[in-house]
């Protein structure tokens, strides 16, 4: 079966005035199977939005190619647009003064759907995302969660087979986030494919079959979510500078410390959680070591530390 998404050596630069260009995507190759929920996980600035925009034909790659269900995102934009839906997080793309239904009718017109079809689909989708009773309220009265569900309805109007969701639950309260995720799972059961960009590991773990980790525009790995979840469990540490190896050895015996490693110019104590990091900082201060600071290892560091270079092969 044809891949839902096949990106090959994608690269995207952003030129910046009087500064070096940013490499937002660097030689990224990724395949997503049909009917999969694929997580794109990475910190802010990793390149997630850039990738999602390229795949939905909003942005051109600097080089490399990408296909959606066999259609090239640069040469066949029209075909790709009819196959994909883009759902952005936050407040972009909805008109506050318009009612929920009017928002959908507006977007339906942009998609050049005939008005009877749009009306029928809009009503069905409002029902589906739990907004039927609020269909005639202006969107400015909507909570964050309601807006996000309306965004999803909007992305579904032209019945796309592949959906790109960019940080869809950022800023949602936990109940709203759970409702949103349930909807995604239902839509997948109908045969749709999802690429879900998020910096939230819990979200990726809750929803995705497979996950790709990206950092600074580069793909670090693609793996089943269960493997990646285990790898990323260890995400807390305290960095400090000190001359004495004995202190590091003492620190390693504390119950809240998983281990202490030597980096180029400092020590790093890995802890199980935030409380563990607090204990380490307090312990250091008691010994007059004032250089300690709470840190988060980059995804790449966590990954390399845990599985070495085995998994760098994607
Ligand atoms: N329009 C732009 N102009 C210049 N740099 C940009 C632009 N959009 C994104 N970038 C840069 O590209 C990199 C990737 O950004 P982005 O794709 O938004 O990452 P993410 O969605 O993972 O946070 C970042 O370094 C960001 O600052
Ligand atoms: Mg983003």
Q: Which atom of ligand 1 is nearest to the CA of 15?
A: 4
Q: Which residues of the chain are under the pLDDT cut of 70?
A: 90-91, 229-235, 298-314
Cα of 123 to ligand 1 centre, how many Å? Answer: 36
Predicted pLDDT at 304: 65
Which residue from 147, 129, 130, 125 is spatially nearest to 138, judged by alpha carbons? 147
Q: Which of 18, 44, 47 to mutate to test the pocket of ligand 1 (most atoms within 8 A of CB)?
A: 47
Please indicate, yes or no, whether residues 60 and 120 belong to a single structural domain of this protein.
yes
- Residue 165 has phi, psi (to 5 degrees) of -110, 125
Quick check: helix, strand or coil at residue 222?
strand
Q: Which two tokens stand for residue 158?
A: 């032209």
Whole-angstrom Cα distance, residue 59 to residue 217?
Answer: 15
The pLDDT assigned to 16 comes to: 85
Q: Indicate the number of domains in the chain.
A: 2
Distance 212 CA to ligand 2 centre (A): 15
Three-state helix/strand/coil letters over 86-115? EEECCCCCCCCCCEHHHHHHHHHHHCCCCH
Measured from the CB, is residue 45 less than 6 Å from ligand 1? yes
pLDDT for position 44: 84
Distance 218 CA to ligand 2 centre (A): 15
pLDDT at 200: 79
The confidence score (pLDDT) of residue 312 equals 42
List residues, by chain if needed, whose CB lies under 5 Å from ion ligand 2: 48-49
- Report which of 238, 223, 307, 311 is spatially closest to residue 271, judged by C-alpha positions: 238
Give how far Cα 240 sits from Cα of 164, 237, 266, 305, Å: 40, 10, 6, 18
Distance, C-alpha 25 to centroid of its chain: 15
Q: ∠174-94-5 over CA atoms, to 5°? A: 75
Question: Based on the domain organization, do 103 and 174 belong to the same domain?
Answer: yes
From ligand 2's centre to the CA of 55, what distance in Å? 14
Domain check: are 197 and 240 in the same one? no
Answer yes or no: do 47 and 151 share one domain.
yes
Q: Answer yes or no: do 148 and 227 share one domain.
A: yes
Q: Is the CB of 24 under 6 A from ligand 1?
A: yes
From 21, 22, 43, 198, give the residue whose CB has the most ligand 1 atoms within 8 Å, as the site to mutate: 22
| Rounded CA separation 66/30 (Å) | 9
The reply to whether 64 and 9 lie within a common domain is: yes
312 within domain boundaries: no
Residue 46, ligand 1, Cβ within 6 A: yes
Asked if residue 314 is part of any domain, the answer here is: no
Report d(CA 251, CA 130) in Å as an integer.
Answer: 53
Q: How far apart are CA 202 and CA 178, in angstroms?
A: 11
The answer to whether residue 311 is domain-embedded is: no
Q: Which atom of ligand 1 is nearest to the CA of 51?
A: 17
3 Cα to the center of ligand 2, angstroms:
24
- Comparing CA positions, the residue from 275, 271, 260, 262 lying closest to residue 236 is 271
**How far, in Å, from the CA of 12 to the mean position of ligand 2?**
14
Residues 177 and 264 in one domain: no
Q: Please indicate, yes or no, whether residues 80 and 162 belong to a single structural domain of this protein.
A: yes
The answer to whether residues 221 and 290 belong to one domain is no
Q: Residue 180 contacts by C-beta under 8 Å, 6 or more apart in sequence?
A: 145, 148, 149, 152, 168, 169, 172
Q: Are residues 185 and 257 in the same domain?
A: no
The ligand 1 atom nearest the CA atom of 16:
4
Burial of 147 (0-12, 13-18, 19+ CB in 10 A): buried
Question: Does 300 fall in a domain?
Answer: no
Structural domain including 270 reads: 236-295
The radius of gyration of the chain's CA atoms, rounded to the nearest angstrom, is: 23
Q: Side-chain half-sphere of 239: how many Cα atoms within 13 Å? A: 8
Q: Is 174 a domain residue?
A: yes
CATH number at residue 77: 3.40.50.300
Query: In this structure, what CATH number is given to the domain that contains residue 283?
Result: 3.30.70
> Going by CA atoms, what residue is nearest to atom 24 of ligand 1?
45
Is 140 within 8 Å of 32 (Cβ atoms)?
no
Mention every residue, 6+ apart, whose C-beta is less than 8 A from residue 177. 145, 169, 203
Statement to judge: residues 112 and 35 lie in one domain:
yes
């Amino acid at each position: 079966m044809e891949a839902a998404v096949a990106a090959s050596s994608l690269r995207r630069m952003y030129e910046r005035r009087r500064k070096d260009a940013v490499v937002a995507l660097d030689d990224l190759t990724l395949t997503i199977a049909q009917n999969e929920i694929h997580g794109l996980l990475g910190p802010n600035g990793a390149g997630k939005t850039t990738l999602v925009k390229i795949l939905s034909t909003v942005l051109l790659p600097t080089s490399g190619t990408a296909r959606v269900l066999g259609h090239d995102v640069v040469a066949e934009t029209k075909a790709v647009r009819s196959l994909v839906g883009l759902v952005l997080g936050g407040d972009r793309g909805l008109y506050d003064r318009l009612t929920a239904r009017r928002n959908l009718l507006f977007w339906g017109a942009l998609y050049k759907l005939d008005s009877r079809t749009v009306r029928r689909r809009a009503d069905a989708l409002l029902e589906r995302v739990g907004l039927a009773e609020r269909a005639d309220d202006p969107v400015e009265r909507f909570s964050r969660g309601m807006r996000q569900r309306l965004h999803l309805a909007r992305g579904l109007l032209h019945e796309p087979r592949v959906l790109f969701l960019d940080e869809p639950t950022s800023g949602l309260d936990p109940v709203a986030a759970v409702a949103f995720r349930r909807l995604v799972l239902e839509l997948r059961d109908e045969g749709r494919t999802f690429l879900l960009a998020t910096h939230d590991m819990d979200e990726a773990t809750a929803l995705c079959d497979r996950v790709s980790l990206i950092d600074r525009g580069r793909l670090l790995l693609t793996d089943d979510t269960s493997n990646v979840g285990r790898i990323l469990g260890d995400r807390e540490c305290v960095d400090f500078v000190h001359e004495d190896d004995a202190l590091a050895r003492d620190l390693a015996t504390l119950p809240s410390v998983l281990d202490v490693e030597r980096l180029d110019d400092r020590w790093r104590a890995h802890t199980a959680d935030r409380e563990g990091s607090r204990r380490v900082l307090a312990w250091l201060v008691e010994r007059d070591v004032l250089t300690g600071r709470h840190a988060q290892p980059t995804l790449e560091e966590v990954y390399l530390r845990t599985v070495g270079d085995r998994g760098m092969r994607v």
